Amino acid sequence: MIRTTAKKIYIALIFIFLYAPIATLMVLSFNASRTRAKWGGFTTKWYFSLFENREIMQALWNTLLIAFVSSFIAVIIGTIACIAINDMSKRNRTIIMGVTNIPMLNADIVTGISLMLLFISLGLKFGLGTILLAHITFNIPYVILCVMPRMKQISPSTYEAALDLGASPVRAFFKVVFPDILPGVLSGFLMAFTMSLDDFIITHFTKGAGVDTLSTKIYTEVKKGIKPEMYALSTIIFVTVLLLLFLVNKAPKEKA
């Protein structure tokens, strides 16, 4: 009895420490008072003023555009990579999988700075394009991480069976292999979308002046002094990412 109560308290404490800061943020986003110190009543006005702020809306649009396009391109490149990796000998496969895992473990700041240096040396103009390139780069490993297990599961003979029945290699892939790996591809897309959405550091180093995503916009605003709109914006981002993560975890299970 005491042991189960102690367990429950322990778990409750963990969740309080984990989520108290976010809960505070969410509560403050509905606070009518401008200061953090006192509760001025419930309001949703910060949300409205947020949506009226043209710069923030531009940043939101940039964020969604980059997240969508970068994950879409990363899914294509990542899936094609998986086909090739799956065909490799065991030794080469282990090496390549190791190499693709490194960027995920690498510190974001290192990735960010190295991409920035690369773009400078290539003479690229910093802006949406460079952010996009950076996001595609760091998204590919996540796609491979999601697609590869599905790829290994499917038997190579279904692809061969399709060829045997007269399908061209491309047709065999889209008719037979792709439907089987689709759950992995979808969760790879959602994963990449989430990663792109909440990235700050890499975007910070690869964006040009005047181009902002939500995270860099919040950072700039916070430097000038925290406005309650930022609480509202952070709340929206948190909820969106939460929903996407929920979808990512849900997607593969439905098929299985």
Partner 1 sequence: MDQLSAQFLTFTYRRISSMNKELINLIDISKSFDGEMVLDELHLNIHENEFLTLLGPSGCGKTTTLRILGGFVTPDKGRVVFGGQDITNMPPNKRQLNTVFQKYALFTHMNIAENIAFGLKIKNKSKNYIDDKIKYALKLVNLDGYEKRMPDSLSGGQQQRIAIARAIVNEPKVLLLDEPLGALDLKLRQDMQYELIRLKNELGITFIYVTHDQEEALTMSDTIVVMNQGYIQQIGTPETIYNEPENAFVADFIGDSNIIASMMLEDKLVSILGAKFACVDTGFGHNKPVDVVIRPEDVELTKQPEDGTIQGTVTHLIFKGVHYEMEVTANGFEWLVHSTGMFPVGTPVGIKVDPFNIQIMNKPASEDEEAVGVEE
Residues at the interface with partner 1 (CB under 8 A)? 155, 157-158, 160-169, 171-172, 175-176, 179-180
DSSP reduced 3-state for 42: strand
Smallest distance, Å, CB 254 to partner 1? 13
Smallest distance, Å, CB 182 to partner 1? 9
- Report helix, strand and coil shares of the chain as percent, to nearest 5: 80, 0, 15
Smallest distance, Å, CB 168 to partner 1? 6
Smallest distance, Å, CB 32 to partner 1? 54
Tell me 199's DSSP state: -
Tell me 35's DSSP state: S
**Nearer Cβ to partner 1 (40/169):** 169
The CA distance from 109 to 155, in Å, is 40
190 exposure class (CB count in 10 Å sphere: 0-12, 13-18, 19+): buried
Smallest distance, Å, CB 154 to partner 1? 9
The CA distance from 238 to 234, in Å, is 6
| Contact in structure between 251 and 183 (CB atoms under 8 Å) | yes
**CB within 8 A of 192, min separation 6: which ones?**
70, 71, 74, 75, 139, 142, 143
Smallest distance, Å, CB 166 to partner 1? 5
**Nearer Cβ to partner 1 (47/159):** 159
Angle subtended at Cα 82 by Cα 128 and Cα 76, rounded to the nearest 5 degrees: 35
**Nearer Cβ to partner 1 (33/158):** 158
**Nearer Cβ to partner 1 (173/200):** 173
**Nearer Cβ to partner 1 (40/179):** 179
The CA distance from 101 to 143, in Å, is 11
Radius of gyration over alpha carbons of the chain, in Å? 22
The CA distance from 82 to 143, in Å, is 9
**Nearer Cβ to partner 1 (134/162):** 162
**Nearer Cβ to partner 1 (13/163):** 163
Q: How many CB atoms lie within 10 A of CB 172?
A: 20
Smallest distance, Å, CB 221 to partner 1? 48
The CA distance from 44 to 50, in Å, is 10
